[in-house]
Amino acid sequence: MTSGNEIIPAPRAVVGPMRCGVLLDDSTVLCAAPGTESTERWLRATLGAAHGLPLRPGPEEARGGVRLLVDDTLEPEAYRLSVITDRGVEIRGGDPAGVFWGAQTLRQLLGPDAFRRAPVRPGMRYGIAHQIIEDGPRFHWRGLLLDVARHFMTKEGVLRYLDLMAAHKLNVLHFHLTDDQGWRVEIERHPRLTEVGSWRSRTKFGHRASPLWDDRPHGGFYTQDDIREIVAYAAERHITVVPEIDLPGHSQAAIAAYPELGNTDVVDTRALPVWDTWGINPNVLAPTDNTLRFYEEVLEEVLALFPSEFIHVGGDECPKEQWRGSPTAQARIEELGLAGEEELQAWFIGHFDTWLAARGRRLIGWDEILEGGLADGAAVSSWRGYAGGIAAARAGHDVVMCPEQHVYLDHRQDGGAEEPVPIGYVRSLEDVYRFEPVPPGLTPEEAAHVLGTQANAWTEVMEDPARVDYQVFPRLAAFAEVAWSRLPAPERRDFAGFERRMEAHYERLDALGVGYRPPGGPKPWQKRPGVLGRPIEGAPPHR
């Protein structure tokens, strides 16, 4: 019999477990009430396939069956999972998402075999200890940023990561689709964005200071039908996909495809390729009416593909040198009566905030969008520490906390010499577990603007899916608990207890085929000897 003591993320309350319980076998029926259809499909397709259980439809009163119900007396996304001897398993959710998260907990109770795609012990009966689990999330936004612009991930890889997110009760995929190094979403009105902008001739291997290159062309993109499939697959798992279309910086791939988007009066944009290295790129969008219309047309197609409330527009790391030297940009500043280039960027972001709001959507961007003023309805992704989030919340803006010093998963996991391509501060499993998303010093009213938190997987030094797995796991499990569970203050968190639960969770990750970083350090094939990184020594600043 398995119990609720090994669940990740940790549930709010567990009564039991007791030695008696419920057995699931070929005769177990599944009763799904209205509103639970997505979980019903998932249980049959996933748990049913893993254990060889047909989970045939059955009546609510069937003894020993599995029952799914929506119960609006529970909070949104909350659930109550009851395993009652001689009665069966019941999952009640405050909404359809809550039922689904309860099913994810049921999967963990069934052991690591439940995370496989086909039964390895055919005909076996699976026991669950008698217990009641009450649970619900701390934050509404529990996100993972997946950067497919720097290194492309196939559609199948994205679908796999949606499954991994669901297994950890994460509910927002921040889909970073465009950058200097590649444009990954088909825009039918502007086909050169993918014909030209989705491929680069070569790629820097390691940090930008590395002398190493991968001379193979790299790229790829998602057709609009691919995007529709990804969004639908996510919705079945109660995950919202928030697209990011970068502007006005991080835009060289778009400029390579359509040179008129760049600052043609200061640089020969026709000579610009899709960028093949990393860092902050000086080639930014020109603040012209043509550029605005072009990106409105892009966003029209993006809105048709992504039904999310929020659309991310980047807004970070936009050097102003070209604007300072551009007569066109300076004329725009004078025409608008702006104080300078910082306000020009604010005007750029404000234009799209107004444009999105008129269509019932909300703009979100990196914390640089606070500079020069921010429109009332815009939200902020606070990445440069806590300061941006604090400023935004105090100004009445909603915030997603994702400070690079704490939850950037491209940062190294250990200070040892064998850590592959060491980037940034050491952010160990324990460091992530002790991350606190709500900045200290906020009033309750200000803290209510913290929508939640997000871990970011930037892929400059993650050249293939195996490297993504290594950097993301097991730290995403610790992050998921921070985002979902109501944990004590960081210094009082029971990391030793979390490590004990991780022993069971590693078996689940093994069954899923996740190439995580082992607790004892990288395996020989996970190392990258001689590939230059950018380690930063010492503890990261808490700011």
User: Catalytic residues, which ones?
Assistant: 179, 250, 317
β-sheet bridge partners, residue 529: none
- Residue-wise DSSP of 22-58: EEE-TT-EEEE-TT-HHHHHHIIIIIIHHHT---EE-
For 172, phi then psi, to 5°, come to -135, 120
Residue 333: φ, ψ to 5°: -60, -45
C-alpha closest to that of 479 among 437, 419, 517: 437
Matching residue, tokens 């991780």: 502
Provide DSSP, 468-483.
HHHHHTTHHHHHHHHH
- 3-state SS of 261-290 is HECCCCCCHHHCCCCCCCCCCCCCECCCHH
Q: Are strands 65-70 and 29-32 parallel, antiparallel or unpaired?
A: parallel
Q: What are phi and psi of 453, to 5 degrees?
A: -145, 165
The two tokens of residue 131 are: 């217990």
The overall longest dimension of the chain from CA atoms, in Å, is 79
Exposed e or buried b for every residue in 345-366, given b needs 16+ CB within 10 A? bbbbbbbbbebbeeeebbbbbb
Handedness of CA 449, 451, 457, 458 (dihedral sign): negative
- Alpha-carbon distance of 92 to 102, in angstroms, equals 8
Q: CA 471, CA 483: separation in Å to the nearest integer?
A: 19
Distance of CA 238 to the CA centre of its chain: 13
Closest listed residue to residue 357, CA positions, set 313, 391, 315: 313
Question: In this structure, what token pair is assigned to residue 412?
Answer: 């190294």
* Alpha-carbon distance values, 317 to 217, 344, 369 (Å): 26, 14, 10
174: left (phi over 0), alpha (psi -120 to 50) or beta: beta
**Residue where the block lists tokens 């002790």:** 434
- How many separate helices (H) and strands (E) can be counted in the chain? 18, 23
